[in-house]
Structure 1
Amino acid sequence: MSTPLNIIFAGTPDFAAKHLAALIQSEHNIVAVYCPPDKPAGRGKKLTACATKQLAMEHNLPVEQPINFKETDSQEILAQYNADVMVVVAYGLLLPEVILNTPKLGCINVHGSLLPKWRGAAPIQRSVEAGDVITGVTIMQMDKGLDTGAMLLKAECAIEDNDTSATIYEKLAVLGPEALLDTLAMMAKADFNSKEQAQVQDNELATYAQKLDKAEAELNWQLNAQQLSRKVRAYIPWPVAQFTYQEANGKQHRIRIWQAKAEDNKHNQAAGTILSADKTGILVATSSGALRLLELQLPGKKPLAVADILNGRADWFVAGQHINGVS
């Protein structure tokens, strides 16, 4: 037998809001929603609420926005909600141990990987970049470590050859809420015992998903074609893989790559050499194989198929020259 849980929800982006939406439609009671303080956005730098706060306000849910939980006032406010559990999804703030221990059943987190693989800030991107064929979400009981808590439930999905971080994000935004509701149903049962039902992570199998950096977007043609193809897919929608083309006059243009595919091409050219450029794409030599560029974005322009790019910039992509132009 189970009874509805009183839940504090903490999250920020659209991914978190999708989980909050599922909770709003469930039998459970949301007693408060926690979000970071509003941030300036857009050209006017107007203070803007995150997706989670906007959804909470639409449903007249109490919203709290502490800068952190270091102050006792913030800790006491959270305790006054008398929650059974705190659900954390892409919140962005560290929770001190006093907060983790405040709800009756503790705090649980929806993490975008199959733990203990890809702990950390960018699990989706690192999974695609590494060439994983399966990913998913893990619902874990939070502890004071970084994604080290005992696992309550896992849900898997395939990573297809044409998946980007953006498409995996959308898959997990469907999978995560379903897994969360299943976990809460388990926790709502009278006989629930976290220590007995949660699986401790094997730290020896853990990998770390380091936060993405803009500098990673510049492709290194000394990598092989498969590695470069995965990077292109992993860096969509941000920071987007790119290369810098330099004209003879020294002017540089950062060109983003939105679509590319690896080919098993037995060339004998130096990495970065353009092997061909036509309506089928710009084929660039790598350390092993070749990368066919299919969709590019010139500075200040929209992404276009290579066939359209070549209509105006064929002189930039001539077979035999380096993809970066004059160095």
Structure 2
Amino acid sequence: MNNIQSILSIAKRTLETEGKAVLNLMGQLDDQFAHAVQHILDSQGRVVVSGVGKSAIIASKIVATLNSTGTPAIFMHAADAIHGDLGTIQKDDVVVCLSKSGNTPEIKALLPLIKVGKNKLIGITGNMDSILAKQADFVLNTFVEKEACPNNLAPTTSTSAQMAMGDALAICLLELRGFSSADFAKYHPGGSLGKKLYLRVADIVVNNQKPQVDINSNVKEVIVEISEKMLGVTAVMENDKVVGVVTDGDIRRMLSKYDNINGLTAKDIMTSNPKSVDVDTLAVKALKMLQEKEISQLLAFDNGSYVGVVHLHNLINEGIL
């Protein structure tokens, strides 16, 4: 038990240290940050993000975030840049260099080469007296008092600060560009995230059968239709219009209510005014409707015409839930 408490204590201390460092970044933001964002926004090129060691890993993450939120970006390892990869940087590109100390040998070697190309340089560093800070056109201060590592050696708090600053850059650019959820979907077509942004009811309904019975259909016909179409529901039609639904629950309630079901029809056991959704509705919105109404199915309509059923299980299978 003591060992468990000790482990939790270390974890909490680590999170507290890193959390405070990230919050402290707000006090370190100044006009340099705003000018850096504006310059990237006005640039006709890409954002080339570079670093070495742990900073290189954070640089890769920042590149991924920028690309996914509408700002073209590419990663360039600082060590590789001076051995042939400097050609990555094109005429209108903005270069972002990450370095806690701002004085690593690779960064020192890279800076004059960037200047030769006349590309604007944004430095993200925790050392405002470093070569990187002094030579950068814009400096973003990621100073941290200490690493979460008890020896104050392993990059932990400092890399969290770098990542948070990169996120701040990306989100500012996202909002200034008016980058919408529809735009986001273009860059995230796969997985559950993408599906939440683009999958519509029409994409699901087309794979389901279309259960329906006439308002005067007898109970056996209703039960067979529900069973065969395997959606736990059937629409009830009159003159080609939906007038109600019969669900598995309606069948159970009928059996509890009536001793003799001979002569009963769909009209006698249906639920009027069924819950419905338009085929153009996002699947994630349909899921919200099901959850709010505490039901399992919605009838789907296309321009007022009944086209099928979307079931909760469909949304689960698609990874929406």
Give the strand-richer structure, 1 or 2: 1
TM-score > 0.5, shorter chain as reference: no
Higher Cα Rg, which structure: 2
TM-score by length of 1: 0.30
